Structure 1
Amino acid sequence: MSSRELVVLGTAGAVPTRHRNHNGYLLRWDGQGFLFDPGEGTQRQMAHAGVSATDVHWLCVTHFHGDHCLGVPGVVQRIARDKVRHPVQAVFPASGESYWRNLRHAAAFADTDVITEHPVTGDHAAIGPLTARRLSHPVESYGYRLQEPAGRRILPDRLAALGIRGPEVGELQRGGSVRGVTLAQCSVPRPGQSAAFIMDTRLCDAVFELAAGTDLLIIESTFLSGEAAFAKEYGHLTAHQAGLVAAEARTRHLVLTHFSERYGFADEPAFLDEVRQSYDGPVTLARDLMTVPVPKRRRHLTVP
C-alpha cells in the first residue's frame, strides 16, 4: 500500500513571515494527492518539498480568503504546463465560485481539461472519498474529512485451523464464505483510517463531527487563549480550543497550524501547553516543509 502522510507546504495565518509561507498542505493517501488550501507561494514550496504537479489529484479550498487560495493560479497553470494527464478534482464553496473562476483563469496560459469542478453547497456534502461540512467563519468556509471505508483483517492462524488456503482465501474475501466457512470466522473488523482538515472557524458542531475518531487531525490554532475574544470575533480557534476538539474527538495525532504572524517559534511551547490542558496524545506544531505520517492502522489484538 502506498504511504499515507501529510506534506506541510505552509503554516502562516493571514500574513506570511520569513519562516512561514502561506497555507498549503498535501495529504498523500494511497497514490492520491489531496492538496488543501494552496496559498500564495505554494508552487515554489512544492518544489522545495519535492512535490510535483503530477502528485495532485484533488485541489480543495476551504474558503476564499487570500491566504487559503492565492496559490491556485500557479498550481493550475503548473498542472497545465506539466501536462498532467490524470483527472484533478477541484472542491470549493459554491458561494465563492466567482473567485474560483478568477483564480482558475487568472492569466493567459495553455489551459488543461483535466480539472473537474465540484462546488459545495449546504451544511453537509460528500464528494468521492471526501466529506465537507460548513464551518463558522465570516465568509462561507468548509472543513473536509477523508474517510477510508471499514473492512476486515484476515487472521492467518484462523484460516489455517479451518483449512482455508490458496485461491480459497480470495474467494472467501470476495464472496464472504467458502465451503461453509464465513469471513467473520476468519477475520476481525478493521476500522477505516481517517484524516480531517479544519481551517478558519469558530468552535461549532461541524468541527467536532469532522474530527471525531480521526487518525490525523490538521487544525488551525491561529491564536493563544489570551486572544480568545479576538479569535471568536474573526472566526478562528485558539490552541486551547484545538486541544479540546482533539480530546473530545479522540484523535490519534493532532497537527496545529495556521499561526498568526504575531507568534514566532519561541512561542511554540505556549501552544503546546494550551493543548496539554485537555489532550495528551501526540501533537505536531507544523512547520513549513515538514512531513507528518498518518499513524499506523489500529489493529485488533483479540478475536471476538
Structure 2
Amino acid sequence: MSARDLIVLGTAGAVPTKTRNQNGYLLRWDGHGLLFDPGEGTQRQMTHAGVSATDLTWICVTHFHGDHCLGVPGVVQRIARDGVRHEVTAVFPASGAVYWRRLRYAASFHDTGVIRELPVSGESMVLDTGDAPFTLTARRLDHFVESYGYRLEEPDGVTMLPAELAARGVRGPLVRRLQEDGAVTGPDGRTVTLEECSVRRPGQKVAFVMDTRLCPAVHELAADADMLIIESTFLDEDLRLAEERSHLTAGQAGAVAAAAGVRHLVLTHFSERYGPEDEERFRGQAAESFQGEITLVHDLDRIPVPRRRTVPLNR
C-alpha cells in the first residue's frame, strides 16, 4: 500500500511568521495527493518537503480568505509547467467561483487543461471521486464567508484470520469464495462462515476543519475520525475574540475531538499573537478534554495516519 500521511506545508493563521508559513496541507493517500488550502508560499514549501506537482490529484479550498488560497496561482502554474498528465480536481465553494477564476488565471501561462473544477454548494455535498479508493464529503461551516470542511473516508473491509482458516481447512480458491459469498462448505462438509474467519476492518477517516465557529458540521466532520486536522487559532483565554472572528480555541478543538471519538488530533492555524513559548499551552488546553494523541504541528512535519483498527465482523 502507498503512503498514507499528512505533510504539513504551513501552519500560521492569517499572517505568516518567521517560523510558520501560511496554510498548506498535503494528505497522501494510496497514490493520491490531496492539497488542502494552499496559502501563499505553498509551491516553495512543497520543494522543501520534497513533494512535487506530479504528486497532486486534488486541490481542496475551504474558503477564499487569502491565507487559505493565495498559493493557488503558483500551484496551478506549476502543474502546467511540470507537464502533469493526470487529472487534478479542484474543489472550492461555488459562491467564490469568481475568486477561483482570478486565482487560477492570475498570470499568463500555458494552461494544459488537466484541472477539473468541482464547485461545492449547499449544507452538505458528497463529491464525485471517480475510481479513487475513498469518498470525499464537504460540509458547510460557520465563518464570515462561505466555508467548507472536508471528510475523507475509505470503505470498510475485512481482514482474514489465517489461523481460523487453517483450523477449518479453508485454503486456496475457497478463501476467495468465502470472501465473495460469505460462506463455503469446508473439506469436512461443515459450513464455514466469513464471520468465523475474519474481523471487520473499519475504513480509515480523516477530517479537515478550518476557519469556523463551533457548529453541527464540525462534529459531523470529526465523528470517529482516525485523524482530525483542525484549526486552533486562539488560546482559551481569548475565547471571546475567537467567537468574534469565527475561529476555534485549542480547548474547543480538544472538546470536539473527545466528543467525536477521534484517534489523533492535529492542531494548526495559530494566530501570530502567540509565540513559541505558548505552544505547550495549546496542547495543554486541548488535553483538558481529549486524552488521545495530540500533535501541535510545525511547518514540514510529516504525520502518519494511524494504523487501521479491527473489530469483530458481527459488530
What TM-score do the two structures reach when normalised by structure 1? 0.97
Q: In structure 2, the residue corresponding to 1:189 is in which secondary structure?
A: strand
Q: Give the aligned residue type for 1:229.
A: R
2:41 is equivalent to residue 30 of structure 1:
no
Q: Tell me, which stretches of 5 or more residues in structure 1 are unaligned? A: none
Asked if the contact 2:11–2:270 (Cα under 8 Å) also holds between the matched residues in 1, the reply is yes
Per-residue deviation at 1:184?
2.6
2:262 is equivalent to residue 251 of structure 1:
yes
2:255 is equivalent to residue 264 of structure 1:
no
CA distance in 1, matches of 2:148, 2:252: 18
Number of residue pairs aligned between Structure 1 and Structure 2: 304
Q: Give the aligned residue type for 1:192.
A: G
Specify the alignment match of 1:61 in structure 2.
61
Per-residue deviation at 1:279?
0.7
Specify the alignment match of 1:133 in structure 2.
139
Asked if the contact 2:250–2:285 (Cα under 8 Å) also holds between the matched residues in 1, the reply is yes
CA distance in 2, matches of 1:60, 1:172: 39
| Per-residue deviation, residues 264-303 of structure 1 (Å, max 9, x unmatched) | 1110111112112111111000100000111111133798
2:188 is equivalent to residue 182 of structure 1:
no
Q: In structure 2, the residue corresponding to 1:289 is in which secondary structure?
A: coil
Specify the alignment match of 2:132 in structure 1.
none
2:294 is equivalent to residue 283 of structure 1:
yes
CA distance in 2, matches of 1:89, 1:254: 27
Q: Tell me, which stretches of 5 or more residues in structure 2 are unaligned? A: 130-134, 186-190
2:284 is equivalent to residue 273 of structure 1:
yes
Q: In structure 1, the residue corresponding to 2:20 is in which secondary structure?
A: coil
CA distance in 2, matches of 1:160, 1:256: 45
Per-residue deviation at 1:162?
2.0
- RMSD, matched Cα: 1.4
Give the 4+ runs in structure 1 shifted more than 3 A. Answer: 174-182, 300-304
Q: 1:188 to 1:302 in 2, by over 3 A?
A: closer
Specify the alignment match of 1:220 in structure 2.
231
Q: 2:209 aligns with which of 189, 198, 201?
A: 198
Specify the alignment match of 1:146 in structure 2.
152
CA distance in 2, matches of 1:187, 1:114: 42
Specify the alignment match of 2:14 in structure 1.
14
Per-residue deviation at 1:76?
0.6
Question: Once the two structures are aligned, what percentage of the paired residues are identical?
Answer: 66
What TM-score do the two structures reach when normalised by structure 2? 0.93
